[in-house]
């Protein structure tokens, strides 16, 4: 299964945490951090359970579209907990 994540994708749903049970939770929504280099190699960068961003294989996730109000709320929470440098 190949998952397409484009530049507009802000959030993904975790479908597989094999090998990373403490870093990823199946069924949880994760914030995407754009990383074009990782994408070229079949990876996606997300803010995982550690609160830091790490690259994982793209097939672990499915991109999702959230209602604008929900997306804005989640983005503001992530900025508060993990400021952009």
Label residue 9 by pLDDT band (50, 70, 90). Answer: confident
pLDDT of residue 1 exceeding 50: no
Quick check: 76 and 31 in contact, CB under 8 A?
no
If one counts every other C-beta atom within 10 angstroms of the C-beta of residue 32, the result is 19
CA 15 to CA 18: how far, in whole Å?
10
Q: In what order do the strands lie in the sheet with 61-64?
A: 53-57, 43-47, 29-33, 11-14, 61-64
Q: What is the pLDDT of residues 17-69, one digit of tens each?
A: 999 999 999 999 999 999 999 999 999 999 999 999 999 999 999 999 999 99
Tokens of 10: 């802000």
Predicted confidence at residue 2, as pLDDT, reads: 46
**Domains and their CATH numbers in the chain:** 11-81 (2.30.30)
Among the listed residues 70, 58, 69, the one whose alpha carbon sits nearest the alpha carbon of residue 32: 58
Tell me the pTM: 0.80
């Amino acid at each position: 299964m190949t998952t397409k994540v484009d530049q507009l994708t802000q959030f993904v749903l975790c479908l597989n945490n094999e090998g990373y049970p403490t870093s990823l939770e199946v069924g949880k929504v994760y914030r995407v951090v754009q990383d074009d280099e990782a994408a070229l190699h079949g990876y996606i960068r997300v803010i995982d359970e550690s609160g830091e961003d790490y690259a994982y294989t793209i097939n672990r996730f499915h991109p999702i579209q959230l209602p604008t109000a929900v997306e804005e709320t989640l983005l503001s929470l992530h900025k508060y907990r993990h400021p952009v440098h």
